[in-house]
Each structure stands twice: as C-alpha cells, then as structure tokens.
Amino acid sequence: MTIKKIKYHRVYEDVIEQIENLILEGNLAPGDVLPTERELAQAFGISRGTLREAFRILEREGLIETRPGGGRFLSKNLNKAEDKSRIIENIERATIIELLEAREIFETGIVELAAKRATEQDILEIETALEKWGKIDSDSDDPTSPDQAFHLSIAKATHNVVLVNLIDLHMDLLQKTLNKTVDIPGRKDEVYKEHFNILQAIKEKDPSKAREAILYHLKQVKQNILSTTNGR
Amino acid sequence: MTIKKIKYHRVYEDVIEQIENLILEGNLAPGDVLPTERELAQAFGISRGTLREAFRILEREGLIETRPGGGRFLSKNLNKAEDKSRIIENIERATIIELLEAREIFETGIVELAAKRATEQDILEIETALEKWGKIDSDSDDPTSPDQAFHLSIAKATHNVVLVNLIDLHMDLLQKTLNKTVDIPGRKDEVYKEHFNILQAIKEKDPSKAREAILYHLKQVKQNILSTTNGR
DNA sequence: GTGGGTAATTGGGTGATCCAATTCCATCGG
DNA sequence: CCGATGGAATTGGATCACCCAATTACCCAC
C-alpha cells in the first residue's frame, strides 16, 4: 500500500468549493448579488474572517466582484475567468506522450518560422544558448535550463509572443522528465550535435532543413524519455 | 483632463506586492522560512487577519507554503509558480496576427492527427457541431460558440488533452474579433462550406487533404479579420 | 544516543468592535 | 408631483483579544 500525504483541511477551501458549485449548478446567475458577509458566515457556520479569505481567492479568480459598502456580486464573465486557470491545470495533467506530440506539432512550425525570420541578433542569441549547453558538465545541478534556453531562443526568433510562451510552458512541464535523459551515456554530445544542426539550418534560412533537424531531435528525445520512464 | 477611476486601496494587495518584491529582489531565497504571522503583522503595521488574506493569495499562486504549527516558507519553485499565470497573461496581450499565426501552426497539426485518429464517435460529434453552426441565424446573439465547438470537436478527435486545451484557449482569445467577421455578407455560408470540407477530409482519413482544407479556412479567416480590424 | 513527555511557538479560526463607503428612504423645496 | 438632500441603516474593511490544534524544541530518564 502506498502512503498518502495527509492533507490539512482548510475551511476556506470548502467554502470556495461550495460557492463554485452553487455557481456551476446555476443557482446563482451572473450579476446576482450574494448574501452579505454576516449572513453567509452564519449560514456556513464560520467566522467572517475565514469567509473573507475564501472571497479573496474568488475575487482573484475573477468569479466575484466586491463593492465595499455595497456588497458582493457575481462577475459577468464567470465561465471564462475560471476556464483560463483550468486550461493550464488540464495541460499539467497531460501525459508526457501528449506533451511531446503537441510539442512536435508546434516546434516544427516554430523552427520553420525562425528560419525565415531570424535576424543576426536572434542567431547570435541562439548561438550563445547553444554554447552554454556545450559547457555544462554532467555533474551540474540543473542541466535542462540551458536546453530550455536554447529552444526558447529559437522561439524568440519567430518574433511571436504566443509561440514563445507556448514553448516556455512546455519546456517547464517537460523539465523534470528531461533531466533524467541527460544521464544517458553519450546522450549529451548527441543533443549538442542535434541542436547544432538546427541552428545551422536556421542560419542558412532553410525552413525545411530546420524542420527535419528538429523532427530528428524530437524523435531522439522521445526515444530517450520512453527508455527511462514508463510514459507518465 | 480625463477622469480617473478611484481605485479602492486594499491593504492586503500592498502586502502581496511587497512580499513579491522581496522575493524577486532576492532578499528571500527558496526554502527560507518567513517570519511568523505575528511578527510580520507588526512589521507591516497591520492585523493578523489582513496579513493572512495576503498569504492565502500567495499560497494559491504557489509562492509560499504553510505548515500549520510549523511556519511559512518560500516554496522551492517560486519562478515557475508565477510564470504559469504570467504565461497566459502574456498570450492574452498578443496581437491577433500572432494568435492566428500560432493557430495556423498547431491547428494544421491537429487536423492531420484528427484525420488519422478520429473514431466514428468523434466524427459524429464533429458533424453535430457542424450542423449547429448551420442552424444559427445571423440575429443570434452568440454566433462564435458554435464555431468554437466545431474546432474543439476536431481537437478532441486527436485524443490529446494538450491540443484540446490549446485550441480552447485560442478560440477564447479570438472570440471577440471573430464575432465581427460573421457579419460580413455571405461569409457565414462560406464558413460552413469550409468547415464541411475539413470534416470531409477527416472522414476520408486523408491528413494532407485536411491540412489543405484548414489552411484555406484559416487564410480566409485571416483576410476577413484584417478587413474588419486594424490588426489588434 | 534514544525515546518520550512537556512547554513554548505557530498557524487556524472566532467574535466583538470600530471605521468608511454605499444604499436607502424619508423629508424638504420648488 | 417630483427631484434633490441629508441622515440612518447596511455592508465590506480592518483591528484586537482570545482560544485551539499542530508543530517544534528541549529536557530528562533510560
């Protein structure tokens, strides 16, 4: 039997959940005013202070708005507000396979764009990132952040903030798993070579060559990950 | 002179900002224990209750962790915690051009995958979504959500949660702008036709045909948007 | 040392209390 | 009759004193 962490129960979290449920069940409509702090506190059987902690969170998430002296009411765009944080949470729960698959799709697009658009300055930054990767020795504590930096520098060459941030997010989520693959003997040099080829294609402004280079790289990464994990 | 909205000043927001600054300036390192509630409250010159409201937020954002009876300490991965919410904010600030460009990249990948993987059930759901789009009349108040549903149903056919959520996010962000393009005379029927072609290609399990169909559709969408806006 | 018990510390939560902004309504003036 | 006005009640913002439960630190017996 596995050992479960005992999670401390916070009252305010219950309250948040209950209020969220009320909203989702449609018992409360956008724009509706909520009962007063004092009423709700009594109804929930908790103190005003605790209730307000819950409201602070709901406020931050955009579910409710507060008019001091006036009252609290549901904000109009309740669904979207919550969706956005949920989207990231959903992505976090994805399997590595799914992440890699998505990454393959948009990183091929990124390198193609980068090959078309990279300025001399962009290329310089990619080179710098590549060199940092070359310098790390395997005892270094965090070998993936240079890798992140390399892929990020390429994304930046597209001059598209959406693509930059998507890669950013993905590298973050993959980081823990990627760490393990660097330990594979000889893998570090291979990665350097693969990165080098990508850079080369971008320098030559050859989108299809860049595409092939990143596809090969991602294929290797995938293989290495699968050999060190069980796919989650 | 323009009239500025008077923003109500919440004490707890100040506290959050100050603590965040302390962290960013490096005066506090990951893992460090924070002073006790009582000490900090006194230092800030506020009550414990207010201070705790601030901590609730910081806790939710993953910056700090709390051990009841133990104390509060900075969580190890402070940078990432904040990054994640920032990533979405960054994407929200992107121009429409950038959004469309990114979407082109990964929606082509999505339809290709969908064409390979769609089950009969998936195709049924895409058809249903398409029919709903056919039924709306232009006076309807929200013509884009059927459009969203269509593209979302295709993403679902990839059986990859990452791709589903990425499309979800993008459609959300594009929604406001897309609304306008439907008003263009005759555009509604064209969109139906374009959607139909995409579905057809998926039914035929023909990835490259699906790719062409979505590329054509996105090209049209882009043109229509550019004709109704000025690119932001 | 090790284990266990005890006291101090710390966050969790409550309730009474005051303040400031908002809302509501009765009142007054035209 | 109707709109402006000026309190009074209401409501969220914040504080303070207080108690509880979990954690921690420490000392002592073995």
Cross-chain residue pair A162–B99, CB shorter than 8 Å = yes
How far is Cα B159 from Cα B117, in angstroms, rounded to an integer? 8
Rounded distance in angstroms from the CA atom of residue B79 to the C1' atom of nucleotide D20 = 35
Distances (CA, A) of A69 to A37, A66, A74, A203, B8: 11, 9, 16, 62, 11
pLDDT at A140: 46
Nearby residues of A196 by Cβ (< 8 Å), 6 or more positions away: A130
Q: In the beta sheet, which residues pair with residue A136?
A: none
Q: Using CA atoms, how far apart are residues A191 and A189, in angstroms rounded to an integer?
A: 5
Check residue A159 and report its DSSP letter: T
Cα–Cα distance between B71 and B89 in angstroms, integer? 31
| Protein-to-nucleotide distance from the CA of A3 to the C1' of D26, whole angstroms | 30
Positions of chain B with pLDDT lower than 70, given as ranges = 1-8, 24, 26, 77-85, 134-144, 176-185, 228-232
Backbone φ and ψ for B213, nearest 5 degrees, come out as -65, -45
Q: Give the contacts of A115 (CB within 8 A, at least 6 positions apart).
A: A201, A202, A204, A205, A206, A207, A209, A210
- CB distance B67 to B188 below 8 Å: no
Stated pTM of the model = 0.68
Of A59-63, A186-190, B210-214, least confident by mean pLDDT is A186-190
Phi, psi of B73 (to 5 degrees): -145, 155
Query: pLDDT-based confidence at A92, cuts 50/70/90?
Result: confident
Whether A161 and B93 lie within 8 Å, measured CB to CB = yes
Please give the structure tokens belonging to residue B106.
Answer: 């990964």
Cβ-defined contact of B80 to A172 (cutoff 8 Å) = yes
Q: What residues approach strand D to within 7 A at the CB?
A: A 34, 36-38, 48-49, 52, 55, 66-72; B 9-12, 45-50, 53, 67-71
How many contacts (CB atoms, under 8 Å) link A and B? 113
Cβ atoms < 10 Å from Cβ of A132: 14
- Find how far residue B222's CA is from the centre of its chain: 19
Give the span between the Cα atoms of A87 and A30, in whole angstroms.
21
Q: Give nucleotides in strand D with any atom < 7 A to a protein C-beta.
A: 10-18, 21-24
* pLDDT recorded at residue B94: 85
Q: What is the pLDDT of residues B135-188, one digit of tens each?
A: 655 444 454 577 888 999 999 999 999 999 999 888 888 876 666 565 666 777
Give the tokens for residue A7. 């999670």
CB B159 within 8 A of CB B119: no
Identify which of A109, A102, A230 has the alpha carbon closest to the alpha carbon of residue A173.
A102
